[in-house]
Amino acid sequence: MKIYKFGGASVKDADGVRNLAKVIDSAGEKDLLVVVSAMGKMTNHLEKVVLAYLSSGDDLQQLLVDFRTFHREILQGLFPNNSHPVYDSVTMLCQKLENFLKANRSRKHSFVYDQVVCYGELVSTTIVSHFLKDNGFPNTWLDVRSAVITDDNFRDAKVNWEETQKRIAGLVDQKGITITQGFLGSDSENNFTTTLGREGSDYTAAIFAFCLNADSVTIWKDVPGVLNADPRYFGNTRLLHNISYEEAIELAFYGASVIHPKTLQPMQRKEIPLFVKSFMNPEAAGTCVGKGVTLNPETSCFILKRNQVLISLSSLDFSFMMEDNISDVFRWLHEFRMKVELIQNSAISFSVCVDNKFDSLDALLAKLRERFKVSWHEGVTLYTVRHSKPTEIDALIENKQVLLKQESSDTVQIVVKE
């Protein structure tokens, strides 16, 4: 069987859902597990719901109405008969979300976040499943929370592979079409909803592929495949036809957001090919990530991560930055859930570029100031260039304030203030 994953951009409106059905039709696969994300920007929208709820903001009711309206418009575009059962199913999900907000007593942001944002995927898959059924693709809707089992590290949950493997084997019929949600799981202790980290639906597809020994995974995107640079920020990009797992892991880890970085390890372990293809042009070959050739065509790859924080530490008494200091720094980085992008150290100083994903910078800085002289820059951009030529780097940093540069044999990383 094969695994398909459709992200938010592919199902942002009624036409997107129609196109999804066309893609499935043109591929002609009979045995498919289809992972679907929340529609359009609905996860961002639900993040706003969480913030409004926890801060008792005036806009909460309006945000909830907007969530219902957005999906209602898509439903009306897809199901002209408004007594179709899908209307009740979606209304029930919206009601459940609102009931949770009324009944919940927890003020823990990450916990509330997961219990709320999951409705984006629950609603989108409900709509997609009904639409496919009505258009000649009978399918089973699977609640992924009964299949993907995780720890209770809300917003960044870790998969319990053993339990997940058992559940998936018992729940997924390898014949026919199954529709399920990306990004979600549930914790093994209490069955609360968990999430795997933003953009985690690609990873969900890989989890199913691993557990089902799938033939391949295809993630359908709004780009022709993996390009040698992020097309939002670079012109003249080139399509990468083939990439090895190793190269793809590096690119994704450094921030090539077209593939979620966690996706590649399960794929590599079972040597399952990963295709990245355009949902606008399903016949085109796209990119194949697999065994073998590192990069075809051989070209430099440019990746950028915006809105990072560069923190520089030095000892208060001119003593060396040794293992004990550095191990404490890493412990705190972990404790405050900072994602480390780059480190550099000298005898008496240590610099680290981090992604402040969980908004814990102030708390971390307070901790660091107890032990070190601390300076930091917020809102910096981290460029990572793989397989580059020196002239390309010169062109990249022209007119930019370079705060840090680091080079290894095939990777150059530069932190700049733009």
Residues forming contacts to ligand ASP in the complex (CB under 6 A) are 7-8, 37-38, 43, 120, 182-183, 198-201
Considering only the stretches 7-15, 85-93, 309-317, 405-413, report the one whose residues sit in contact with ligand ADP under the rule CB under 6 A: 7-15
Which residue type, as a one-letter code, is found at position 34?
Answer: V
Q: Which of 57, 77, 176, 231 binds ligand ADP (CB under 6 A)?
A: 231
8 touches ligand ADP (CB under 6 A): yes
Q: Cα separation of 10 and 36, whole Å?
A: 9
Which residue type, as a one-letter code, is found at position 267?
Answer: M
* Contact (CB, 8 A) for 142 and 180: yes
- Least distance from C-beta 58 to ligand ASP, angstroms? 25
Q: Which two tokens stand for residue 205?
A: 């597809």
What ranges in 34-139 are assigned the alpha helix state H? 42-54, 60-78, 85-103, 109-134
Considering only the stretches 26-34, 170-178, 250-258, 262-270, report the one whose residues sit in contact with ligand ADP under the rule CB under 6 A: 250-258
| DSSP-based three-state secondary structure for 105 | coil
User: Strands of 177-181's sheet, edge to edge?
Assistant: 139-142, 177-181, 32-36, 2-6, 216-221, 274-278, 287-290, 242-244, 295-296
Q: Cα separation of 65 and 57, whole Å?
A: 14
| Residue 261 near which of ligand ADP, Mg ion, ligand ASP, none (CB within 5-8 Å, type-dependent) | none
Q: Which of 256, 354, 364, 382 binds ligand ADP (CB under 6 A)?
A: 256
- 201 or 356: CB nearest ligand ASP: 201
Chain position whose Cβ is nearest to ligand ADP: 7
C-alpha angle with apex 185: 183 to 190, nearest 5 degrees?
150
| Residue 182 near which of Mg ion, ligand ASP, ligand ADP, none (CB within 5-8 Å, type-dependent) | ligand ASP
157 touches ligand ADP (CB under 6 A): no
Q: What is the DSSP letter of 56?
A: T
Q: Quick one: which of 24, 11, 260, 14 has its CA closest to 121?
A: 11
- Least distance from C-beta 46 to ligand ASP, angstroms? 9
| Residue 258 near which of ligand ADP, ligand ASP, Mg ion, none (CB within 5-8 Å, type-dependent) | ligand ADP
- 9 or 343: CB nearest ligand ADP: 9
| Residue 221 near which of ligand ADP, Mg ion, ligand ASP, none (CB within 5-8 Å, type-dependent) | ligand ADP
Q: Quick one: which of 340, 355, 247 has its CA closest to 301?
A: 247
Q: Which two tokens stand for residue 191?
A: 């069955």
- Least distance from C-beta 262 to ligand ASP, angstroms? 11
232 touches ligand ADP (CB under 6 A): yes
Q: Which two tokens stand for residue 397?
A: 């940093």
Which residue type, as a one-letter code, is found at position 120?
Answer: G
Considering only the stretches 109-117, 224-232, 324-332, 396-404, report the one whose residues sit in contact with ligand ADP under the rule CB under 6 A: 224-232
Residue with tokens 């084997």: 169
Q: Which of residues 180-219 bind ligand ADP (CB under 6 A)?
A: 199
Residues at the contact surface with Mg ion, assessed by CB under 5 A? 7-8, 199
How many residues at the interface with ligand ADP, by CB under 6 A?
18
| Residue 126 near which of ligand ADP, Mg ion, ligand ASP, none (CB within 5-8 Å, type-dependent) | none
Q: Quick one: which of 362, 327, 333, 351 has its CA closest to 415?
A: 351
| Residue 263 near which of Mg ion, ligand ASP, ligand ADP, none (CB within 5-8 Å, type-dependent) | none
Which residue type, as a one-letter code, is found at position 294?
Answer: T
What are φ and ψ of residue 119, in 5° steps?
Answer: -65, -25
| DSSP-based three-state secondary structure for 3 | strand
Q: What is the CA radius of gyration of the chain?
A: 23
Q: Cα separation of 393 and 117, whole Å?
A: 40
Q: Cα separation of 418 and 415, whole Å?
A: 10
- Least distance from C-beta 201 to ligand ASP, angstroms? 3
Q: Cα separation of 177 and 83, whole Å?
A: 25
Considering only the stretches 78-86, 255-263, 288-296, 324-332, report the one whose residues sit in contact with ligand ADP under the rule CB under 6 A: 255-263
- Least distance from C-beta 371 to ligand ADP, angstroms? 37
257 touches ligand ADP (CB under 6 A): yes
Q: Which of residues 15-74 bind ligand ADP (CB under 6 A)?
A: 37
- Least distance from C-beta 8 to ligand ADP, angstroms? 5
Considering only the stretches 13-21, 67-75, 222-230, 318-326, report the one whose residues sit in contact with ligand ADP under the rule CB under 6 A: 222-230
Applying CB under 6 A, the residues found at the interface with ligand ADP are 7-10, 37, 199, 221-223, 226-227, 229-232, 256-258
